[in-house]
Amino acid sequence: MEALAFTTEDGVELEGELRLPGGRPRAAAVLCHPHPRQGGSKDHPLLWAIRAELARRGFAVLSFNFRGVMGSGGSYGGGAAEVRDVRAAVGDAARVAPGPVLVAGWSFGAHVALREAVGEGADGPGDERVGALALVGMPLGDADPDLPPLPPTARLATFERPALLLAGEADPFCPIPDLRGLARRLPGASVHVVPGTDHFFWKREREAAAEIGEFAERVLATGSPGPPGAADDAP
């Protein structure tokens, strides 16, 4: 694991970690953590499991803390300024491995990742470096009224790249009917519901991570991965 720091377009320095696979990276991925004001950080068993699974499949994985979290500079930006954090992380990850970047986010991180990818507030097609999205436990409905609203349907429809929408069937923050409704607004989206779990995927972290790994490898990975098991994580 390699500690790193990178700077956003508004001058905030963020802390992160880069997990490299056992061989030459096939592609790069960025992980976005849950709500900073609810204890969210890059250090959580679900994110560790996703990081390990992606690295095992040959991805270089950048995990980072949003502004105001632990060693990252700045202060909480209400989910709006954090779009810049994701944009900077994508840029840093893209320098590690060529080609499109997978952005995976959980909860608050999923909400911010989607808005960054589709180009919130932009006139163009969004961040074209983002080749695919994996959105876990996306807060929908009345889950977090303080978050900025999602972009309108016309803007979401411009993101035609693959997107995996993953949720536990009992997730109170990500109602499955609302998730399926979001999928209909994203042309390349698919939905996977994990039975018998909720927003936190307790003891089901590896199952959720495997879904993301299979999706990522199918839609993005090229070249030869490193040796199996070379990047296993431990909490």
Q: pLDDT tens per residue, the chain (235 residues)?
A: 899 999 999 999 999 999 999 999 999 999 999 999 999 999 999 999 999 999 999 999 999 999 999 999 999 999 999 999 999 999 999 999 989 999 999 999 999 999 999 997 555 668 999 999 999 999 998 777 789 999 999 999 999 999 999 999 999 999 999 999 999 999 999 999 999 999 999 999 999 999 999 999 999 965 444 333 333 343 3
For the entire predicted model, the pTM comes to 0.92
What pLDDT does 232 receive? 38
Task: Provide the token pair at 176.
Answer: 């499955």
Give CA–CA dist 19/51, Å, rounded: 8
What pLDDT does 175 receive? 95
